[in-house]
Amino acid sequence: MNQKTRLLLPDFARGLALLGIAIANVLTIWCYYDDGFYNRLSVTDYGAIHYQAGIQQTLDKVTIVLAAMFAHVRGLPMFSTLLGYGIGLILMRELKAGARLSQARMVLIRRYAFLALFGALHAIFLFSGDIMLLYGGIAVLLSFTISLSDKWLLVIAGIFFALISIITVGNIIFFLDWNNSTAIVDDPSLVGGPGSYPEQLLFGLIVVVSSFIRVPAALFSFGPVIILGFVAARRNVLTRIDRYRRHLYVWAVIYVVIVFGIGLPWGLSMIGVIPGYDIWGELNSSLGVLTGPGFLALLALLFDRITTDQKPQTWMKPFTALGKRSMSGYLLQSVFFFIIVNKYTLHQGVNASAWKLVAIAFGVWLATLIIAGILEKLKKPGPFEWLHRKIGYGKPKAYTTFVLSDLEQIKALEYQRTESEFDFARYVEKHKEQPVTTVV
């Protein structure tokens, strides 16, 4: 498989991850329960189950278990990994165009500061569970580390993950009870999102104001996989599958182990089959972030087997179209959910059981898939991608780059074969000779 084909993978993964995000959000935030649930539903933090035995109860239970395995703390970690990969690709593009590190850093800061701004507006006016504000803030912080070597970045990621793991172990040992835990909530009215639009505005403002605390906190939970994605981009992992195949297999195994070793027991504990709901949930919250690079690695290995030419296969095109427009797809989800499920709109999310909510989520995701496919046919970008690129990049920039001497070109080619793309760019910068102006 060639390089152009492999670069389809991030878009494909984003398009697929949006389904997991839609399911997780609709089961936890885009849902509402009032007095109408009594004698009909058992409400959990992750969806409601019909009291009466039958096909609907079975569908609810299966839905909750599958969501625990494949949706909760699954889509966001993969998006986080892809965020890091995207940051790395932008950095490498700027460096190859002749930018100094300080210039590349300013490009990243501007781009992701505007992403955070979009997220703030989204959180206030549509969806208080917005993730773009956190992602933008984390990316801005990460831009100050781009001069660090891959080794030091991985050390930082390891420290962050170790701290989260220590907190998880402490919670399990000192605060959680294996036998005395249940997924059933005492007050279902506390589950879900705001019950009125003024509440939405208030919750959204609180989310934005608290981001000064939430962004550093999120850096510890999602930071490790964002850094992994960033390093992977600097090493060009997705276009060098053969070189990193063993690493990818390890991460794919990690994904499978977490899905079936933690997600499945957690789901079973939600529906009362086994005990330990709180403990399984704590493990999923901390270790589940590793499914981000894990699932991306699994997709990379699958793509390497099934993709043989430069164009995506027919069945891939809708996913890649949505992935190219992932910001528009994510925001459009909120528009659809806002209209369909709110108490104060069409209220289809009020007292809805798990399987019905997931059916709505799938329909919303499918609608965004179709819209993205139409835009792809028309060769049009997503509206928010267009706006973000216009204000996030500004005017084209002129960089002074350099051509290497013949001898240095030979040395550089050998260096490129053995080192990361980032180290290669730094090598070229140190051995530059003839100045040439380029515009990007």
Q: What percent of the chain has pLDDT over 70?
A: 85
Structure tokens at 362: 């799938």
Percent with pLDDT over 90 in the chain: 68
Q: Let me know whether 72 and 206 are in one domain.
A: yes
pLDDT over threshold 70, residue 290 = yes
Express each pLDDT in 329-382 by its tens digit.
Answer: 999 999 999 999 998 899 898 999 999 999 999 999 999 999 999 999 999 999
CA–CA dist 185, 248 (Å, integer): 39
- What tokens appear for 392 in the block? 């996030």
Do residues 433 and 402 touch, judged by C-beta distance below 8 A? yes
Question: Quick check: 69 pLDDT over 90?
Answer: yes
Say if CB 33 and CB 335 are below 8 A apart. no
- Shared-domain flag, residues 348 and 414: no
202 and 104 assigned to the same domain: yes
**Mean pLDDT across the stretch 255-282?**
96
Question: What does the pLDDT read at residue 5?
Answer: 42
Q: β-strands 41-44, 398-403: how paired?
A: unpaired
Look at 257 and 412; give whichever has higher pLDDT: 257
Q: Which two tokens stand for residue 35?
A: 């007095």
- In the structure encoding, which two tokens stand for residue 420, read together? 């990361």
pLDDT of residue 39 exceeding 90: no
Q: Which residues pair with 434 in a beta bridge?
A: 403
Q: Residue 23: pLDDT above 50? A: yes
Structural domain including 362 reads 3-394
- At residue 424, does pLDDT exceed 80? no
Whether 421 has a pLDDT exceeding 90, the answer reads no
Average pLDDT of the chain to the nearest whole number: 88
- Please report where in the chains the tokens 């389809």 appear, as a residue: 8
Q: Which helix (H) or strand (E) holds 437?
A: strand 434-439
16 and 108 co-located in one domain: yes
d(Cα 178, Cα 280) in Å, to the nearest integer? 9
**Are the C-beta atoms of 351 and 195 separated by less than 8 Å?**
no
Instruction: Look at residue 54 and tell me whether its pLDDT is greater than 60.
Output: yes
Residue 418 confidence (pLDDT) above 60:
no
pLDDT digits (tens, 9 = 90+) for 226-240: 999 999 999 999 989
Reported as a single tens digit per residue, the pLDDT across 182-213 is 788 877 777 788 888 999 999 999 999 999 89
Q: What is the pLDDT of residue 435?
A: 46
pLDDT band for position 77 (cuts 50, 70, 90): very high
Query: Same domain, yes or no, for 134 and 221?
Result: yes
The pLDDT, as a whole number, for residue 406 is 46
pLDDT of 426 reads 62
pLDDT in tens, 128-149: 999 999 999 999 999 999 999 9
Q: Which residues contact 206 (CB under 8 A, 6 or more apart)?
A: 128
Question: pLDDT at position 184, please?
Answer: 84
73 has pLDDT over 70: yes
For residues 435 and 302, membership in a common domain is answered with: no
Q: Report pLDDT digits (tens) over 83-107.
A: 999 999 999 988 888 888 889 999 9
Q: Are residues 148 and 224 in the same domain?
A: yes
pLDDT at residue number 428: 58
**Shared domain check, 332 and 405:** no
Per-residue confidence (pLDDT) for residue 123, from 0 to 100? 97
- If asked whether residues 294 and 418 sit together in one domain, one would say no
Q: 407 and 389, same structural domain?
A: no
Q: How far apart are alpha carbons 413 and 38 in whole angstroms?
A: 70
Number of domains in the chain: 2
Taking Cα atoms as reference points, which of 309, 275, 307, 362 lies closest to residue 23?
362
Please tell me whether residues 241 and 144 are part of one structural domain: yes
- The whole-model pTM stands at 0.89
Q: CA 283: distance to chain centroid?
A: 19
Q: In this structure, which amino acid lies at residue 103?
A: Q
Rounded to an integer, the average pLDDT of 275-283 is 94
Say if residue 305 is in the same domain as residue 349: yes
For residue 142, the model assigns a pLDDT of 94
Torsion from C-alpha of 359, 364, 369, 374, nearest 10 degrees: 130
Q: How confident is the model at residue 399 (pLDDT cuts 50, 70, 90)?
A: low
Secondary structure element (H or E) that encloses residue 58, with its range: helix 55-70
